Amino acid sequence: MAEVPMERTLKDVPVGASCVVKRLTGTGAVKRRIMDMGLTKGTRVTVRKVAPLGDPIELTVRGYELSIRKDEAARVEVEDA
């Protein structure tokens, strides 16, 4: 992960808001895992809540609840729904 992308990522999406996945950055196991769980290009995602200690976050994607860390959310570039 060479640089922090300047694009808007899933990490920046406020609780309650929805967005659409544009691209995933990074490589390897973490990226594949995020995609395997259904966060692929064009998927609509809603940010549900933030855990009591501020991390991770809870998403609704493809009709189920998914929890990912903010570090991982930062790899998901998004655009407005």
For another protein, the closer of residues 55 and 79 by Cβ is: 55
Region 17-56 residues binding another protein, contact defined as CB under 8 A: 24, 27-38, 40-43, 49-56
13 binds another protein (CB under 8 A): no
Of the candidates 53, 61, 62, the one whose C-alpha atom is nearest the C-alpha of residue 13 is 61
∠ CA 60-43-38 to the nearest 5 degrees?
65
- How many residues touch another protein under the rule CB under 8 A: the total is 36
Nearest distance in Å: CB 12, another protein: 18
